Structure 1
Amino acid sequence: MPTVLTVDDSRAVRTIVSKQVKDLGFEVVEAEDGVQGLAKLGECQFDLVILDVTMPNMDGPTMLGKMRDAGNLTPVIMLTSESKRSIIAGAMKSGITDYILKPFKPEELRNKILSVLQGGGGVEDVVASDQPGGAPAAGISPSAPAPREGAAKQFCDVMVVDDMENVHKRLRGMLPNHLGMNGFTSAQSALASAREKVYRVVLVDTEIPDVNSAVLAQQIKVLQPHAAFVALALRTNAPEQSKELRDQGFGDVLYKPFTQDHVDDFLVQYFDNQEFLTSEDNLLKVAPFLGKPERLDRYFARLAQLFPGVLNKVASACYEEVVLDLAQVPTQGDRLPKLLVSVAGQAKEVGMTMTVVGPAEIKKVLASFEETSGMKYFASVQEARAAAAA
């Protein structure tokens, strides 16, 4: 019977992971941090390690590096609330088999566990790279060489397949700088890259000369099984346009010509939901604002949309307090106080108190508005934790 090691400092997450592993009929062993995880690996052999990124004493990437340095090639699925390219790319270079972004659905975790344990996934095949099946799209050679065996794949956020280069330039200019994008004007070059890299979102134009875009998308999907697939299409008056594209295998559609609002909505759905507001147990971290000043209202509007769901998640884990890290949040105007008043009210509704953490500017903002002047404030997460433990 396969045995799985779950390494996470959150008891709630370990409980969720252990339940899913046991429901699959496998054995599970728990560890609270990387130090304990390495000790468990020294005691017995495991078939899979499910490893958190952020932990005290020894974090996930450090434990992973020590495993590989010692010659331990046990497959690793990494759990992370950080969807930034640098975090995931670094883990892939160290030889993870797959990763899951928090918060995750139980069925997603089960599917990835089964994929590794039943599919024989190990460090030598970081992401599945089977040749695409079925008939090739027009103009595509199915015999392109696969990457060399044992090569860890590079990570990139977005793949764009469109025969017009101006489409790539236009979209690149609307995406934030921290997101990576590779653009391809031919099906052949897109398939070649899909064999060499790992993408989170793949956008395919629906009108590429001499290419069946739906078939091309299916072929890329075989190489990129974890990516989201979005159609690039001209908006028409046909009421069934969106449904037809979904029937062809696309999960969504981004209409051309692009507008910044439409691209921002795309970012919220596939990226910002995971990066704008991240959670580790009862600690919520708000991402910094990187856009132009005129986009501040939209930044705070996105946060307002995301907070209710994340607060419910924290409350469901039976925490009595939520700690809000605002270290890099803009403080000009009254946007932040209004948001904090709303969040504090939502936290109270689900039975939690709220503590705010941030630099001195945050303290000044809280003191300058009557509605926020009484909120608990600490300069660092460590101080907030110490006060809660006292």
Structure 2
Amino acid sequence: MSERKRLARGAKIAILAAVLVLAGIGGVFAAVGPLQAAPITSEQASPVRSQPGSAFPVVKQATAATVPAQGAKEVNPAAPVTVTVANGTLDNVSLRSASGDDVDGALSSSRAGWTSKSQLAFDTTYTLSYTTIDAAGRTESATTTFATVATKNEADAAMYPLDGMSVGVAQPIQLTFSEPVKNKKAVEKAITITSTSGQPGAFHWYSDTMVRYRPETFWAAHSTITVKMDLFGVDLGNGQIGNFSKTNTVHIGDKRTAVADATAHTFTAYINDKPVHTWPATLGDTRFPSARGYLVLMEKQRKAHFVAASIGLKPGDPANYGELDVEYATRLTPSGEFIHQATDTALPYLGQINVSHGCIGLGPDGASWVFNNMTTGDVVQIINTQGDYANFDDGFGDWNIPWAQYANS
């Protein structure tokens, strides 16, 4: 057979085979019916859900992020706890302490985030539980556990004057912290001090644990000072966290002042800038001159017991007075300067010479008037003395610091 006939025959056989195959397939199709896809009973049963470019869209698994992270330690109890989800929504979110106390929170309008609304407690373990739901309806539950700042890192503060106290016009606001403050600006920002008089003021740090606040001039008489301390959660530095927030008020009375003149040997009292009395006085002698400047009244003792050894005097010293009791004592400094009734031996020298160990000695009338009519926060200005200013921590010597220096500490 020629090559041409052999090729023609092969072509006919191929065509016949193709017809037979098509006929067979057609029979199968006729038996089964139109082309159909097998039903997909679940996301997991669909091989095309996770295949980009297939006939079905890709549905990503929902993923969640929490703040704090799992296992976090020393978490600031003021910081909000959050859960955020991508490619899904949140359900059944709860935040609970180890003792079973629930913390309030709220879902965002899109249900893609949840944020706690209440402060946490110190030194407490919390569990955050939540469920995520993706667009395919798949759910996944998870928990996160973390612990807040330990008790050893809590920082407290005490304020003077006490809440609701009535004081004189020269009383600074003092805050004493239980731990050293390194982030001083953060602490100042967290404390708002206002007065009904509208007087602005400034903080002055005397140490890492003590700060005071005063206006440029004395507080206005009959004003009220409000001290709002939002210190809960404030980082004081070195891992120390403020553990409270509260608001205190302090009331200012009449403006009661006095001037003690070490040269004229007089003591003049003023109420609302009007002189009301002048008494003869004796102040510190040349060895123990009275401190100069403004001294703020601190406390009163109807009877006070003085001990010479407390100011360094020893037996045999001509100035040693041993121990004695005095009447109507109003303290000016913690180190021992008072306004008080002069001792019997000093009474003849009132208005004449200075014989005290730094105190302001008055007669019975003057000492009792100061005791009964002046109070904590009132102020006496000592002039014409050879003494230096009292140490900043020896009472409230704030008014002896120039305002420009005070306000830029």
Q: Same fold by TM (over 0.5)?
A: no
What is the TM-score with the length of structure 1 in the denominator?
A: 0.21
What is the TM-score with the length of structure 2 in the denominator?
A: 0.21
- Return the structure number with greater relative CO, CA threshold 8 A, min gap 6: 2
